[in-house]
Structure 1
Amino acid sequence: MRGSAPAWLTARPIAHRGLHNAAAGIIENTPSAVRAAVTANYGIEVDLQITADGEAMVFHDDALGRLTEGTAPLASQTAAALKSIPFKATADRMMTLGDLCDLVAGRVPLVLELKSRFDGDLRVAQRAAAVLASYAGPVAAMSFDPMLVHALRTLAPSLLRGIVAERHFEEAPGKPPGYSLALGLLLHAPWSRPLFVAYSVKDLPAPATALARLIGLPVLTWTVRSDADLTRARRYADQAIFEGIRP
């Protein structure tokens, strides 16, 4: 599992959910936030969720109510329905992964977080692998769920894959005792085989990230929101996933 991640992964700071600024009408995970990050030459981190008809959409929340005029669970909607639902504070519409790839067109790196309910559903990994097979730009996929990371080894062996973690997880329903502790310590890594780690900045330094760096796995850290966070990121990680500041 010794590291072999490309240099572009850590070459520049990564804008968390794009370079968003709600006060300026630039909302997270929207085309406007993506364009702003491209203009500023930052990498871009966004979230992917799977729809009722198997499409990967760029959106963070399980439900639509915080950011859009909808209220339903995202997973209950088709891609076409989601693209028709207005955001509350922007004229942008929700993107598919394909839309995102067309918009970025390889100009800056993409880091895609595959959202999971830890229920064994691999569809978001399957759809991401299918779409990214024809994408020529620098791109990585990551998830809190080691099952999705493991699945990407088979679905997209050449795709850069990573694990997202923090030291303290809530115990997951239906999982054995100690499962959440194992996630924080990355004890699944010999099986899931991540090629990089994205770890919570509030939990740095951490044994898991120290070991990762020792064996050559790059460490990203999230979410960097202050100068103090940035100082910690620079000491204990290889690059920052940031919002609300300009590193």
Structure 2
Amino acid sequence: MPGLDWLTARPVAHRGLHETARGIVENTASAFSAAIVGNYAIECDLQLAGDGEAMVFHDETLDRLTERRGPIAALSSHELKTISFKATADRMMMLDDLCTLVEGRVPLVIELKSHFNGDARLAIRAAQVLQSYAGPVAVMSFDPAMISAIAMTAPGLPRGLVAERKLLSGIGVGTATYLGAVFQARPHFVAWSVQDLPASLPLLARYAFGLPLLTWTVRTDADRARASRWADQMIFEGFRP
């Protein structure tokens, strides 16, 4: 896809520029605002609320980061927005809220979380919200079915594949089945685990097919050197490039 130079133009802050010691929790307005001030692109995650709304949150459950317990999918978006995080005054955001906050000032790279069960509601809802967003934005997922749903629902929205070496064993599918699904999804870029670089599939995508290659999650000097050698840009956390 032409016109994706913005995707690799600057380092991407993993779940925003978060720092728990300073009360800045991942995937919150504070983390995203800090990334904007630092002029970093923002990576974030979406989960599906019980009412079908796209919520900015990484985990399937509330347990790790909030004062509540249980699955995200058991509560409505309205209920989720009232729940306190453990270390900050921030509240969970909907994708609409994130778009309003960022307003195109830095690129957004949004990961769609999936249960690998064929449920494409999150992809469809994200596409609906993002169709009116004017800033640079891309979506990505470990699940090729999510990328395919974006391709069908919003073909002009940049879409990418997230992957790592252990993915196939984790989701219980064969290599041929997975690669067939990826081919059908037609990703515009790839985001690959930095710990697995170099690897044949992402480098084939980069050099043979000309797809931008992001790498995650860069945390150390060794990671950073590997990212610089093998990828077009890094998704980082724990330091400021």
Fold shared, TM-score > 0.5 on shorter chain: yes
Q: In the TM superposition, what are the counterparts of 1:92-103 in structure 2 within 5 Å?
A: 92-103=90-101
The question of whether the paired residues in 1 share the 8 Å contact of 2:46 and 2:112 is answered with yes
For the aligned residues, what is the CA RMSD? Answer: 1.4
Counterpart of 1:140? 138
Report the number of matched residues. Answer: 240
Amino acid at match of 2:38: A
**2:148 aligned with 1:150:** yes
* Alpha-carbon distance between aligned partners in 1 of 2:192 and 2:183, rounded to the nearest angstrom: 18
Percent same amino acid at aligned positions? Answer: 60
Divergent runs of 4+, >4 A: none
Runs of at least 5 residues in structure 1 that lack an aligned partner in the other structure: none
Q: In structure 2, do the counterparts of structure 1 residues 193 and 4 end up closer, same or farther at CA, with 3 Å as the change threshold?
A: same
**2:205 aligned with 1:205:** no
TM-score relative to the length of structure 2: 0.96
Q: Tell me how far 1:5 sits from its aligned partner.
A: 5.1
Counterpart of 2:157? 159
Counterpart of 2:12? 14
Q: Tell me how far 1:168 sits from its aligned partner.
A: 1.5
The superposition leaves residues 58-113 of structure 1 with CA deviations (integer Å, 9 ceiling, x where unpaired) of: 00001101000110100111000000110010000000000000000000000000
* Alpha-carbon distance between aligned partners in 2 of 1:147 and 1:224, rounded to the nearest angstrom: 26
Q: In the TM superposition, what are the counterparts of 1:74-89 in structure 2 within 5 Å?
A: 74-89=72-87
Amino acid at match of 2:134: A
TM-score relative to the length of structure 1: 0.94
Amino acid at match of 1:40: G
Counterpart of 2:46? 48
Which of 12, 35, 38 in structure 2 is aligned with 1:37?
A: 35
The question of whether the paired residues in 1 share the 8 Å contact of 2:145 and 2:181 is answered with no
Runs of at least 5 residues in structure 2 that lack an aligned partner in the other structure: none
Counterpart of 2:223? 229
The question of whether the paired residues in 2 share the 8 Å contact of 1:5 and 1:160 is answered with no
The question of whether the paired residues in 2 share the 8 Å contact of 1:10 and 1:220 is answered with yes
The superposition leaves residues 101-137 of structure 1 with CA deviations (integer Å, 9 ceiling, x where unpaired) of: 0000000000000000000110110100000010000
